[in-house]
Amino acid sequence: MATNVVILGAKGRMGDTLVNMALADEELNLVGACEREGNAGGIDHVGCIASDCLEELLPQVPGAVVVDFTTPASSVAMAGIAARFGNPVVIGTTGLDKAQQAELATIARDVPLFWAPNMSVGVNVLLKVLPALVRLLGPDYDMEMVETHHKMKKDSPSGTALKLAQCLAEARGWDYDEVKRHCRDGIIGERPHNEIGVQTLRGGDVFGDHTMYFFGPGERIEITHRAHSRDTFATGALRAAKWLAGQKPGRLYTMADIL
């Protein structure tokens, strides 16, 4: 049976990609497209219910999975609305702070809820294998990261960079907030051993590049993930929507639950 989905932010860059890929997927039914108030015009051509009010849309599509790549505040608010109507939610929004993540975890008690700062299968496989690499290399290797995104991206460092860097810190037994260095400028002295640097580049139309460096005595290892298009993230999100439709509430699901 095909999974019914509702796409939020349907006229945005990511939303438009999700709409087109959902329409092309035989395992999905696009039953709703939602935009911010006063901006729903022009999305009714896709053959589903178009609305600028999620509270009016969801009663017409009971059980449909809501897919959201909007903004942190909007994603949390929309998840709360979806929970009231019993609609599962997939969120791919980045830049959520700890309080917003905690609020999602609370909402997840009442409705199936999935959140990942990066929906790429490749990135999430990296999150599984990086801890083993860190442990095998040992403490003599300094860990750094450079992330690059298009000039329109609003948050920095990217949610993916933060997740990857947190993964590296946890593998060393470090508290990431205590060892992170997101910017270097001026006379900063020698690099501390207990530090992970994350540097940010912005420009052009780069979908997302993340390179992790492991600097050791006499050698270095570089691991790079490059996203070639938004389809990479849309594919992961729609895969999550199909999976989430059969889950129960109780906790906040992530890509680790699918892989």
Catalytic residues: 149, 153
Reduced to 3 states (helix: H, G, I; strand: E, B; else coil), residue 32 is strand
CB under 8 Å to 31, separation ≥6 — which residues?
Answer: 4, 5, 6, 48, 49, 61, 64
**Residues 1, 215 contacting (CB under 8 angstroms):** no
Closest CA to 232 of 197, 202, 208: 208
Number of Cα atoms under 13 Å in the Cβ half of residue 210: 22
Assigned token pair, 55: 């509270």
What's the maximum distance between 2 C-alpha atoms anywhere in the chain? 63
The amino acid at residue 213 is Y
d(CA 12, CA 10): 6
CA Rg value for the chain: 20
